[in-house]
C-alpha cells in the first residue's frame, strides 16, 4: 500500500509550501497584498496541479495488492 509518495504528490506539497512561504513573506513587516495574493494562488493552485499530474500518470496506482 502506498502512502501517496509520488511525483504528483510531492510537487503539490512543494508548490503549496512555496505558496505559504511567499504569502507569509508578503505579510512581513507591512502587508504587501500583491505578494500575499501570489502566495494564495500558489497554495490553492497546488491541488489542481497535483490532480492533473496524477491523471497524467505521475500519481500512485489505486490497485490493492493482497
The model's pLDDT over 11-55, given as tens digits with 9 standing for 90+, comes to: 999 999 999 999 999 999 999 999 999 999 999 999 999 999 999
Q: What is the pLDDT of residue 59?
A: 86
Nearby residues of 10 by Cβ (< 8 Å), 6 or more positions away: none
| 64 domain-assigned | no
| 32 domain-assigned | yes
Q: How many domains does the chain divide into?
A: 1
Of residues 15 and 4, more confidently modeled: 15
Dig out the grid coordinates for 10 from the structure.
Answer: 510531492
Name the pLDDT band for 5 (thresholds 50, 70, 90). Answer: confident
Question: What's the angle, vertex CA 24, arms to CA 9 and CA 4, rounded to 5?
Answer: 10
pLDDT at 66 > cutoff 70: no
Task: Kindly report the pTM of this predicted structure.
Answer: 0.83
Cα–Cα distance for residue pair 31/2, rounded to 1 Å: 41
| 1 domain-assigned | no
Of residues 60 and 25, more confidently modeled: 25
Amino acid at each position: 500500500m502506498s502512502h501517496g509518495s509520488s511525483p504528483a504528490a510531492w510537487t503539490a506539497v512543494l508548490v503549496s509550501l512555496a505558496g505559504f512561504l511567499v504569502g507569509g513573506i508578503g505579510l512581513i513587516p507591512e502587508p504587501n497584498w500583491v505578494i500575499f495574493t501570489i502566495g494564495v494562488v500558489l497554495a490553492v493552485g497546488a491541488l489542481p496541479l497535483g490532480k492533473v499530474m496524477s491523471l497524467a500518470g505521475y500519481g500512485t496506482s489505486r490497485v490493492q495488492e493482497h
